[in-house]
Every structure is written in structure tokens, then in C-alpha cells.
């Protein structure tokens, strides 16, 4: 996205619990899942002293029914018929891309934007290719990420190949996955997620984190995507349902209301070869940091979407980033990966760490995208 976004401030950030597909949120469609989170964020900024209408709702979504999920969710959340809404699809990066769009709208003059993402893998409609010459319609699991002439591997296979090419061993992947579950369970037990979660359909906690998921247990799992591979069900994220939303306002509105928040210093989107989509966050991170005039050493909190342990570790190695700095309260390997929402979940996690808990000043959120893209955002806590 072109143009400055540095006048945009996130002043509220909430999410639903993340449910494992087919379980706690299985009966909640995408719009119904996003609606209470939108409502809660709108109420939070109103209580905080931000008045006036919501100028736009922007939600990322990948696999919903269409029909502008953001608009349906805004109406279901009681935000008012006068509030316009836009649905963004950058696949796994949709939630963070929605924040990028929202920050740009605020920088262009909007007074209050709600931005985030939602995914209900459980209720995603079945899609069919139309029949050809009398054949039976064929169901497809995903649309093509690249046109004919480009390799377009499934994300798991691509992550496995990236790990191999980057020299990331199975042992490192299992150790990192075990770490994610250990940290996420510890955060859940101490109430580290409580302030950011809006209960939905009776679910109050993330479903996926597992206590005691050791490296030894993970080592017993077979390769999932190719014989002799290193990516398994245990060191991959889970297919999940969830929603996350932030409120963005101009810096002047934030200062007048006296609300602490996260100033958006810079955003960036980038492209890489479609056959290795997991690398997409690397150039996006580099560009966002360059636009912000910062380096990784200047950051206090780093949230990368953990789609696959091997993919995250390969990106960390390429960036020269110590993986122990990433997702200190666990990430998508433990929490799950609700595709269209995951990028926004990263921003909510930064808000909790830097604003609610005051553990540092500057942070980074980044996510890789099917088809070979990446999205990154750099933020700074402000009083």
C-alpha cells in the first residue's frame, strides 16, 4: 500500500477464542462469529471516549460464503445501516491486509475504522467447478494461488520443501512446536489471553493448546505431506475458526481521548515465488522495517504467524532473527490458524503485550500468504 499510515493508532483490540474446526465454534458462521467481536470493539472505544460514527468496517476473509461478509457482520453486530463495510481477500494475510487498508483510510481522513478478519473453516461452503461436457461437478478445496505456468503446491508441501532447502531439521521443528504449546498453555493458565477474548457461543478459551506436548511425543508423528519429509500434523498449525478486530483512529483523536494505543509506524506487502509462499513474510518484514527506519534489534515484541514450524524457522534464519524472540506467549502452532483472521490476531497479541501489559514499546506482526506474498506491520506503543 502506498502513502503514509503513521498517523493511525490502534486504540482497542479484541478477538474471539480460536476454535478447532468442527468443535467449539462449529455451528457459528463467519458473519455471526465476527459480529460480537465488532460490537465489543465498538463499545470499548465508545467507553474510552471516542465518539462519532464508524466510518468503515474492513474484514479479511478467505473461505466464507461471499456476499460481503464484513457488511453482514457489521449489520449483525448492530453497528448501524449507515456503516459501510469491505471484505478483503489476501488469503492467509487477509486479516493483516485489512489492518493495512484500515490504517490507510484513517491516514486519508477517516475518523474511526474497525479492521480485522474472520474465518469459519467449519462452515465454509463447498465449492464446485462447473461440469464440462456432461461430467459430474468436481469439488475443490481451494482456488488456484497461481496461474498455469507457475508451480502451485499446497502450503504444507511447500513448507516441507522450504524447510529442507533452508536446512531446518525435523528436531528443530518439533522443538519449536513444543515451545509454542508450552508458552500458550502457560499464558492461558495465568490469564494472559483473558483481556483480549470475547466469548462466543459459550467458548471462552482457545481450544488447541495442549499441556505436556513434548518433543518426544511430536517425534513419533509421521511426515504428512511427502515421504521422508519433516512437516507433520504436530509441527503444523491447526485448521481453525476465529475472529479478531481492532479500532483505528487518527493520532489526534487518540490523544484527545487519552487512550493508550499502538501507532502504526509502517506497513508493507511483498511478493515472492509462488512455489515457496512461506518466504513471503521475509521481504515484507524488511520493507516495513525500512519504512519505519528501524531494525529487528529495535523491536520489543515480534508476532509471526506460525503456519508451520519449518516455515517460521526458515524465515527467522533468513532474517537473522532469534526464534526465541517470536510469539513469546505461543503462536498459531498452538492457538490455531483461522486463515482470514490470523493476521489480525497477531495485532491483538501485540496490543496485549505492549499496551495492556506494558512489556515494551515497538512491535512487529508479519504473515506469509499462499501464492507467494507476505504482509508486515510495525507499531509503537503510545500513551
Contacts of 87 (CB under 8 A, 6+ apart): 58, 59, 60, 61, 64, 68, 69, 70, 71
Residue 102, pLDDT score: 98
CATH of region 1-125+148-383, choose from 3.40.50.620, 3.40.47.10, 1.10.1060.10, 3.30.450.40: 3.40.47.10
| Model confidence pLDDT, tens digit, residues 203-220 | 999 999 999 999 999 999
* Pairing verdict, β 113-120 and 127-129: unpaired
pLDDT at 4: 59
pLDDT tens digits, one per residue of 88-113: 999 999 999 999 999 999 999 999 99
Determine which helix (DSSP H) or strand (DSSP E) holds 14, and give its type and residue range.
strand 8-15
- Note if 92 is an active site residue: yes
Q: Where are the alpha helices (DSSP H) in 320-383?
A: 332-335, 342-351
What are the boundaries of each domain within the chain?
1-125+148-383
Q: Is 327 exposed, middle or buried (0-12, 13-18, 19+ CB in 10 A)?
A: buried
Catalytic residue among 62, 316, 327, 337: 337
Question: Which portions of the chain are predicted below pLDDT 50?
Answer: 1-3
Q: Which of 23, 62, 92, 237 is catalytic?
A: 92
CB atoms within 10 A of CB 45: 24
At CA 267, angle to CA 76 and CA 60, rounded to 5?
25
Is 337 known to be catalytic? yes
Amino acid at each position: 500500500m502506498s502513502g503514509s499510515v503513521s498517523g493511525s493508532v490502534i486504540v482497542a483490540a479484541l478477538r474471539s477464542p480460536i476454535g478447532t474446526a468442527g468443535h467449539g465454534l462449529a455451528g457459528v458462521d463467519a458473519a455471526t462469529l465476527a459480529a460480537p467481536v465488532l460490537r465489543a470493539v465498538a463499545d470499548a472505544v465508545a467507553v474510552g471516549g471516542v465518539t462519532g460514527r464508524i466510518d468503515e468496517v474492513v474484514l479479511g476473509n478467505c473461505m466464507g460464503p461471499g456476499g460481503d461478509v464484513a457488511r453482514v457482520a457489521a449489520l449483525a453486530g448492530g453497528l448501524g445501516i449507515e456503516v459501510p463495510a469491505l471484505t478483503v481477500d489476501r488469503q492467509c494475510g487477509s486479516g493483516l491486509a485489512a489492518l493495512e487498508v484500515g490504517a490507510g483510510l484513517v491516514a486519508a481522513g477517516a475518523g474511526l475504522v474497525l479492521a480485522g478478519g474472520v474465518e469459519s473453516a467449519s462452515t465454509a461452503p463447498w465449492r464446485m467447478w462447473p461440469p464440462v461436457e456432461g461430467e459430474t461437478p468436481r469439488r475443490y478445496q481451494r482456488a488456484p494461488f497461481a496461474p498455469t505456468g507457475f508451480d502451485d503446491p499446497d502450503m504444507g508441501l511447500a513448507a516441507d520443501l522450504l524447510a529442507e532447502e533452508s536446512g531446518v531439521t525435523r528436531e528443530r521443528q518439533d522443538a519449536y512446536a513444543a515451545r509454542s504449546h508450552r508458552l500458550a498453555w502457560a499464558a492461558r493458565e495465568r490469564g494472559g489471553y483473558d483481556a483480549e477474548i470475547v466469548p462466543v457461543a459459550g467458548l471462552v478459551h482457545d481450544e488447541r493448546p495442549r499441556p505436556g506436548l513434548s518433543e518426544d511425543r511430536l517425534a513419533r508423528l509421521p511426515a504428512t505431506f511427502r515421504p521422508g519429509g519433516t512437516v507433520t500434523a504436530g509441527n503444523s498449525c491447526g485448521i481453525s475458526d476465529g475472529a479478531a478486530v481492532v479500532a483505528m483512529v487518527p493520532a489526534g483523536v487518540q490523544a484527545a481521548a487519552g487512550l493508550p494505543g499502538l501507532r502504526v509506524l509502517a506497513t508493507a506487502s511483498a511478493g515472492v515465488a509462488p512455489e515457496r509462499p512461506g518466504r513471503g513474510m521475509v521481504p515484507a518484514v524488511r520493507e516495513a522495517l525500512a519504512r519505519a527506519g528501524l531494525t529487528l534489534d529495535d523491536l520489543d515484541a515480534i508476532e509471526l504467524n506460525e503456519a508451520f514450524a519449518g516455515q517460521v524457522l526458515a524465515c527467522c534464519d533468513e532474517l537473522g532473527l532469534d526464534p526465541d524472540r517470536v510469539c513469546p506467549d505461543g503462536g498459531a502452532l498452538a492457538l490455531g490458524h483461522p486463515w482470514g483472521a490470523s493476521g489480525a490476531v497477531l495485532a491483538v497479541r501485540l496490543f496485549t503485550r505492549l499496551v495492556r501489559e506494558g512489556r515494551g514499546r515497538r512491535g512487529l506482526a508479519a504473515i506469509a500468504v499462499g501464492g507467494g506474498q507476505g504482509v508486515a506491520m510495525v507499531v509503537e506503543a503510545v500513551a
